[in-house]
């Protein structure tokens, strides 16, 4: 057996891959792909919706428990089971007939994070949470930061690729994502400042040490740009490297595909957020973050901005992003004020509160009323809106809640 694959592991993965492949080539899947292309190109469709599913709230059910022995293959067993479960919920997620194996990166210093210093998370005693232990304590510690060059560990990357190819490569295409390590949250500057400096201290720095803080922002901006530029020079950006925290389809950009061929950033979606700046004023958000994010965002085709932070008061500054296409409207945002400002200029990515949707009990009438009321507000201002159920931490042992939520939302959007 190649790559030391256990026969039972291979059998498990292959059965799952065949089930998943049927989902990918269903007529409904192609219809959803076409809807997202139009929707993300600011053309009117019905409101689309997705439920971002996780494995930890379905694995307590026998059908979803992992059975592979190889820790590497367990990751893909878990992922395939998650996708099969997700497809049965019948939201508007598009499923593609390939598996992505992410490249392994070499850090600037062994045993550290992308900036050459450790990212330390300390567990909360008696709980399941954690907090950050900053590593840039004194102002002079800024000198410890190293440039995050684009370096791939080819041996480890190829070993994983080959194992996956030997297991299911004749059923599902296997594509290696060689895109840069600084993307999504590690590439938005905001997240890594929180890890490096600490959430509270970074807020004080904007007032007490503004010149020093600007210097730190410059280092991080130039680090992200260097990492991305080197990736492009190496030909490692591909059409599976983009991200918009939703479905990455539009009429302006090529759709994801698994050839692995080199592309420029102008052919890709990109996502950035500013969760650590939720309590910062629009003016300070602009001065101490957005102007450093924009040179990074300018390199891409289309941009999605925002994750869990309330952007109600910041939509005016986000308009500075020339290629902005999607704006997050979070559970803490004022939906009507966001809708009034965004209108049909951008896609409104509305995220209802998961706690009241599915995490703490399940009230079908409440869900229906919340969705209808929200959609009515967006409709009032002619918005192009989609709905994302995200950050679901528990379903209280009832994974069927996601399917019920999707059924209710589908009936709501059909009548909108």
In sign, the C-alpha dihedral spanning 146, 244, 391, 290 is positive
Burial state string for 316-327 with b = 16 or more CB within 10 A and e = fewer than 16:
ebbeebebbbbb
Whole-angstrom distance, CA of residue 8 vs CA of residue 16? 13
Q: pLDDT by residue for the chain (416 residues), tens digit each? A: 445 899 999 999 999 999 999 999 999 999 999 999 999 999 999 999 999 988 766 766 776 789 999 999 999 999 999 999 999 999 999 999 999 999 999 999 988 999 999 988 888 888 778 888 999 999 999 999 999 999 999 999 999 999 999 999 999 999 999 999 999 999 999 999 999 999 999 999 999 999 999 999 999 999 999 999 999 999 999 999 999 999 999 999 999 999 999 999 999 999 999 999 999 999 999 999 999 999 999 999 999 999 999 999 999 999 999 999 999 999 999 999 999 999 999 999 999 999 999 999 999 999 999 999 999 999 999 999 999 999 998 899 898 999 999 999 999 999 87
Residue 150's CB: how many other CB atoms inside 10 A?
A: 22
CA distances from 245 to 93, 184, 379, 389 (A): 12, 9, 23, 12
Its domain, for residue 173, covers 2-414
3-state SS class at 147: coil
| Total count of domains within the chain | 1
Give the tokens for residue 302: 């289309």
| DSSP bridge partners of 291 | none
Here the CATH number for the domain that contains residue 186 is 3.20.20.210
Do the bridges between strand 302-305 and strand 324-329 make them parallel or antiparallel, or are there none, so unpaired? parallel
In this structure, are residues 50 and 91 in contact, taking their beta carbons and an 8 Å threshold? Answer: yes
What pTM value is reported for the model?
Answer: 0.96
In the block, which residue shows the tokens 């009323």? 369
Give the tokens for residue 295: 């040179």
Whole-angstrom distance, CA of residue 162 vs CA of residue 143? 40
What contacts 16, CB < 8 A, 6 or more positions away? Answer: 77, 80, 81, 84
Whole-angstrom distance, CA of residue 328 vs CA of residue 309? 8
- Rounded to the nearest angstrom, the gap between the alpha carbon of residue 280 and the centroid of all alpha carbons in its chain is 23
CA distances from 242 to 173, 253, 254, 256 (A): 18, 11, 11, 8
């Amino acid at each position: 057996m190649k790559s030391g694959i256990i026969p039972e592991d291979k059998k498990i993965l292959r059965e799952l891959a065949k089930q998943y492949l049927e989902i990918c080539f269903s007529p409904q899947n192609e219809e959803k792909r076409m809807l997202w292309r139009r929707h993300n190109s600011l053309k009117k469709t019905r409101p689309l919706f997705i439920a971002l599913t996780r494995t930890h709230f379905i694995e307590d059910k026998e059908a979803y428990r992992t059975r592979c022995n190889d820790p590497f293959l367990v990751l893909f067993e878990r992922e395939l089971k998650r996708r099969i479960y997700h497809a049965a919920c019948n939201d508007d997620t598009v499923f593609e007939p390939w598996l992505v194996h992410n490249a392994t990166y070499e850090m600037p210093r062994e045993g550290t994070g992308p900036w050459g210093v450790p990212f330390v998370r300390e567990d909360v005693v008696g709980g399941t949470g954690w907090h950050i232990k900053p590593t840039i304590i004194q102002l002079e510690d800024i000198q410890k930061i190293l440039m995050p060059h684009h370096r791939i560990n080819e041996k480890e990357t190829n070993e994983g690729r080959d194992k996956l190819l030997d297991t299911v490569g004749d059923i599902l295409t296997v594509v290696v994502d060689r895109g840069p390590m600084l993307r999504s949250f590690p590439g938005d500057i905001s997240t890594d400042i929180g890890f490096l400096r600490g959430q509270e201290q970074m807020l004080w720095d904007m007032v007490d040490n503004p010149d020093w803080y600007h210097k730190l922002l410059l280092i991080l901006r130039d680090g992200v740009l260097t990492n991305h530029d080197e990736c492009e020079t190496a030909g490692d950006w591909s059409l599976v490297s983009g991200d918009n925290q939703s479905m990455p389809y539009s009429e302006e950009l090529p759709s994801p595909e698994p050839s692995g061929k080199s592309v420029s950033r102008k052919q890709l979606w990109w996502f950035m957020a500013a969760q650590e700046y939720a309590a910062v004023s629009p003016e300070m958000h602009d001065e101490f973050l957005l102007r450093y994010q924009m040179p990074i965002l300018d390199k891409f085709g289309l941009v999605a901005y925002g994750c869990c932070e309330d952007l109600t008061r910041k939509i005016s500054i986000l308009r500075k992003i020339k290629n902005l296409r999607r704006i997050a409207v979070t559970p803490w945002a004022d939906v009507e004020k966001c809708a009034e400002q965004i209108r049909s200029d951008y896609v409104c990515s509305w995220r209802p509160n998961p706690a009241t949707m599915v995490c703490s009990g399940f009230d079908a009438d409440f869900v229906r009323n919340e969705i209808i009321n929200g959609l009515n507000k967006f409709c009032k201002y002619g918005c192009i809106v989609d709905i994302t159920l995200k950050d679901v931490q528990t379903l209280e042992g009832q994974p069927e809640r996601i399917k019920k939520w999707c059924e209710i939302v589908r009936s709501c959007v059909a009548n909108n």
